[in-house]
Amino acid sequence: MGDDPVLYQIRVDGHLGPTLLTAFPALVPEQQGAETVLTGLLPDAAALFGVLSGIEALGLDLLEVRRVRPRPCQDLSDRPGPDDQSATEPPATDGRCSVSTEQQQTLDAILRQSAFPVDSDVSEQRRLLRELTSAQPLPADVTAKPSTLGGVPTTEITVDGVEPRHVVLYFHGGVYVLGDAISAAGLAAEVGRRTGARVFSVDCRLAPEHPYPAAVDDALAAYEALLGDGVAPSDIVLAGESAGGGLVIATLVNARDHGLPLPAAAYVMSPYVDLTLAGTTMETKRAADPLLSRELLEPRVTDYTAGQDAALALISPVFADLAGLPPLIIQAGTNEVLLDDAVRLAQQAATADVEVTLDITPRVPHVFQAYQPLLDEAGAALDRAGQFLTARLTGTERVTG
């Protein structure tokens, strides 16, 4: 794909040509029955995300995003690995890709274009992330406002029409050095939408300015504050993506060890739980993963651990004793180097007699749930997680000792 613009077609429900023409002048609208098809060249991933987020912010129903000339089905990865069977899919019998495969190819191409350069430092990666997330406004029905929990900055997120009966305490990703609460608000809101909850997205301190245990301390303080505010633990779930998923598990272990009552359940997406980077898929999924690699992760591990042992339980909770933790749902895609983190975490939980659901989606990337406008599998995975969490929130209150 390189740096060349890509021709996209974006289908939207409704007779909305003039509105979309004004909002997105780079795209040409064409009415097709009850739908509008927007066609145009977009220069990069940020531009596409900006259009998709703008459509969502306008309250429009996005039906499909596709490249006009997608790569062949059998060439999903620019760099196929010799042992990676999950990165490809046989072509359909009529020689055309399925809708799902086209979506996967489009997303893969976008992510490869927007991946951080291997030699970039923290400040450059933060700048690039800000550029990408600034092009993605929140949906029109989502409200986010600053708040605090236990002295820790948070963003309180609500969804119009959702009567909050519960609370989601959410931790953003970014390998402990990138991101913030508001940049994760869109994905966090989708978890709240599906659980009938308001969400507090937590702004834990970031390394290298604030290495371990700063983030772990902030996460526990935020959870303690919810309990101190009178929220029943049976009305709380923890959720997070990537490093935020690791922080979810660390917070549960930390809360248990401090004698605190534990929440009803927890949801982690592509959890980053082994900062020793010992997972086998760190190598076997190297070609399939469009975003992460050992070379990108190693410097950020050093930033966070600051000389401490990366195998410590609250740094790499895949090595922690997980006994007594609440029910977990762990989701990951097969096109990510952190796949083995998710698998081993589920094994550790099961060995510790924790109720755990391991939900693996083929041929999708790290934290694929964040790409709901582009990928059918993303919404389906969020729906499954919502059902899991709702069942635990509305079930019999857990007895904690």
User: Catalytic amino acids?
Assistant: 242, 336, 366
DSSP states along 151-189: TEEEEEEEETT----EEEEEE--STTTS--TTTTHHHHH
Fill in the DSSP letter of residue 101: H
- Is the backbone peptide bond immediately before 208 cis, with ω within 30 degrees of 0? yes
Fill in the DSSP letter of residue 6: E
Q: Identify which of 177, 179, 130 has the alpha carbon closest to the alpha carbon of residue 300.
A: 177
Backbone φ and ψ of 80, nearest 5°: -65, 135
Contact 271, 249 (CB under 8 A): yes
Q: Calculate ∠ Cα 271-275-279, nearest 5°.
A: 75
d(CA 343, CA 278): 13
Contact 200, 146 (CB under 8 A): no
